[in-house]
Amino acid sequence: MVDEDVEDEKEEEGTQETAEEEQAEEQADEQAEEQAEEQAEAAPAKAKEKKQKKVVRRRKTKKERENPLTMAVRLAVESGKVEFGGKAGISSALSGSAKLFIVAANAPGDIKAKVETCCKTSGIPVIGFEGSSMELGSVCGRPFPVSVLSVFEEGSSNILELAKKK
């Protein structure tokens, strides 16, 4: 009987130790879960911050790097006021409301001649774009050809300075 009492006491002590160990493990698990939740909440916030800071930049073609006119046209279209088309260009040249005209190299002859004569009488500068109307359209960010580009406000570009140089 004495042996049984000793064994019972040892079992009770063992169960107390295992109960304490189990409680410690549960606390450790709870702390790990809390930390994981905090990290999970913090991760999307950091990802959102990174997404907001990320700027998408378009790769420049070789022509755009060489010709400052293409960069100026792109900036004028994005930040200023412009109109596309020959008929709109002629009407704004007659009224004298535009500050600058850009004409593609392959623009129709009659439209090109009308725009140039109206601009001479109004004193508005005309720049000849070296590329085709399709290239001028792509520089402007449009999926169609642009034969005449009328600039009313240049925005943040230096396109009027380029017109004075030419």
Is-contact 125 119, C-beta < 8 A? yes
- Whole-number percent of the chain with pLDDT over 70: 60
- The pair phi, psi for residue 141, each rounded to 5°, is 85, 25
Average pLDDT over residues 116-142: 92
Give strand ranges (E) for the chain: 81-84, 100-104, 126-129, 148-153
Q: Is the pLDDT of residue 144 over 80?
A: yes
Give the CA-trace dihedral at 111, 166, 152, 132, to 10 degrees. Answer: 40
Q: What is the 3-state secondary structure (H, E, C) of 39-82?
A: HHHHHHHHHHHHHHHCCCCCCCCHHHHHCHHHHHHHHHHHHCEE
pLDDT of residue 63: 56
Contacts of residue 12, defined as CB under 8 A and 6 or more positions apart, other chains included, come to: none
pLDDT of residue 46: 52
**Rg of the chain on CA atoms, in Å:** 37
What CATH number belongs to 80-165? 3.30.1330.30
| 5-40 pLDDT tens trace | 545 555 555 545 566 666 666 666 666 666 666 666
Return the higher-pLDDT residue of 22 and 78: 78
Tokens standing for 46? Answer: 């950091």
Average pLDDT of the residues of the chain: 78
- The dihedral of CA 60, 61, 62, 66: what is its sign? negative
pLDDT of residue 97: 93
Q: How far is CA 95 from the centre of its chain?
A: 35
Q: Is the pLDDT of residue 124 over 90?
A: yes
Does the pTM surpass 0.85? The reply is: no
